[in-house]
Amino acid sequence: MTSRVLSTFSRTKILLLFLVWIVPAVVAGFGVLLVPYAADPEMGYGGALLISLAHWAPWVPVTLAIFAVSDRVPLERGRVARALLVHVPLSVLTMLLMISLIVAVDYAMGIIYPGRSIESHFIIQLRGVAEFELVFYWAVVGAHAAMRWHERFVAQQAERTKLEADLSDATLRALKAQLNPHFLFNALNSVMALIDRDPPAAQRMLVRLSELLRTTLAATDAQEVHVAQELELVRRYLEIEGIRFGDRLSVSIESDAAAREAVVPALVLQPLVENAIVHGLSRRPGPGSIEVRARSSGDTVVLTVRDDGPGLAIPSTRRGSGIGLGNLRARLERLYGTAFELAVADDPRGGACVTVVIPTARVA
């Protein structure tokens, strides 16, 4: 899961790494102003800074080398023993190398105490800074381990997010898939009811049903569609029911321009209209009406389906326990969390009204 990014540094990363090691060089340069070199007590800050840079700058390529080794032998769970077998001797070698470079710089810059040999200066440096060089080495190894852990954590979070999104999408598709056979069976029942009573009407209904199914299947892959498409689907569905109920069914569909462009879950209106037919108009002895409205309200779109049936006085699946409303509520929760409303209530004019309020910030 972890890539080789850590061992492939861009120029920007190398520059940042160089700046990290510049800080102790600058601090050490100021230190010389307080405690001058014995071999050159008159040295100013410029010379002291130059020597400090020469002492610390080699840590830049050394750090890159440590990262490269740590990519192959990382210090992490399950690999600690192997990593220690590599890094312990390598840390000692790095410490000796860095001290040798310090001694070489001091000798070249002429700041070795008069009369002191290079060997003697090496031993003094070994006693004075060896532990610091070891600490720096293991700090770099630790930083590498932290970077690998962070990279792995970010990758795991991205993978978890992707899996959750895939699961949510699969659930939405499963919920949506339930609507098609549910709707189809209800439509076929309507056809069956007309076959003996009115064969021509049954034939017309089958033609309308085939057109509706063709439209529905064409949008099967889309989880969200424009309201205009939903209204067209509802219009086709109500044409089928109009053949069944004849003059008993009056339909009104209205929407504003902004609402028609809004994006909503596919098949959000059809189960509400079907519910209005089954639990409203079918229970009304005389003529009845179905009203479908879509309007834009701020950053939401408000969808309403009203019928003038018996309302909620008669227990029914209107309260959200049936496939239609229960399925729709589950899909809305998957898509919007709590940022939606689904309300079923008696209408003051009679009958029942279902209202769905959906945020319009989503993009299809």
Element (H, E) at 250: strand 249-255
- Tracing tokens 């959750």 back to the chain, one arrives at 164
Domain boundaries, the chain: 5-161, 196-359
Q: In what order do the strands lie in the sheet with 288-297?
A: 249-255, 288-297, 300-307, 352-359, 341-346
Q: Would strands 341-346 and 352-359 be described as parallel, antiparallel, or unpaired?
A: antiparallel
**pLDDT (0 to 100) of residue 39:** 56
- Give CATH superfamily name and number for 196-359: Histidine kinase-like ATPase, C-terminal domain (3.30.565.10)
**pLDDT (0 to 100) of residue 1:** 39
Identify the burial level of 286 via C-beta atoms within 10 angstroms of its C-beta, where 0-12 means exposed, 13-18 middle and 19 or more buried: exposed
Q: What is the pTM of this model?
A: 0.50
What is the C-alpha to C-alpha distance for residues 357 and 297, in angstroms, rounded to an integer? 9
What is the C-alpha to C-alpha distance for residues 112 and 104, in angstroms, rounded to an integer? 10
Q: Give the pLDDT of the chain (364 residues) as one tens digit per residue.
A: 334 444 445 666 667 777 778 777 777 777 766 666 655 666 777 777 888 888 888 888 898 898 889 888 888 877 888 889 998 999 999 999 999 988 888 888 777 766 778 888 888 888 888 888 899 899 889 888 888 888 888 888 887 777 566 555 555 555 555 555 666 676 677 777 778 788 888 888 888 878 777 766 665 556 778 999 889 888 888 888 888 777 888 999 999 999 999 999 877 888 888 888 888 887 777 888 999 999 999 899 999 999 988 887 654 444 444 556 777 888 788 788 889 999 999 888 888 999 999 998 544 4
- Tracing tokens 């080699």 back to the chain, one arrives at 58
**pLDDT (0 to 100) of residue 317:** 41
What is the C-alpha to C-alpha distance for residues 241 and 26, in angstroms, rounded to an integer? 84
**pLDDT (0 to 100) of residue 35:** 65
**pLDDT (0 to 100) of residue 268:** 85
**pLDDT (0 to 100) of residue 323:** 58
**pLDDT (0 to 100) of residue 166:** 54
Cβ atoms 327, 346 nearer than 8 A: no
Cβ atoms 223, 176 nearer than 8 A: yes
3-state secondary structure at position 173: helix
Task: Count other Cβ atoms within 10 Å, centred on residue 178.
Answer: 16
**pLDDT (0 to 100) of residue 119:** 84
Cβ atoms 45, 36 nearer than 8 A: no
What is the C-alpha to C-alpha distance for residues 302 and 29, in angstroms, rounded to an integer? 70
Q: How far is CA 110 from CA 29, 38, 74, in A?
A: 16, 11, 40
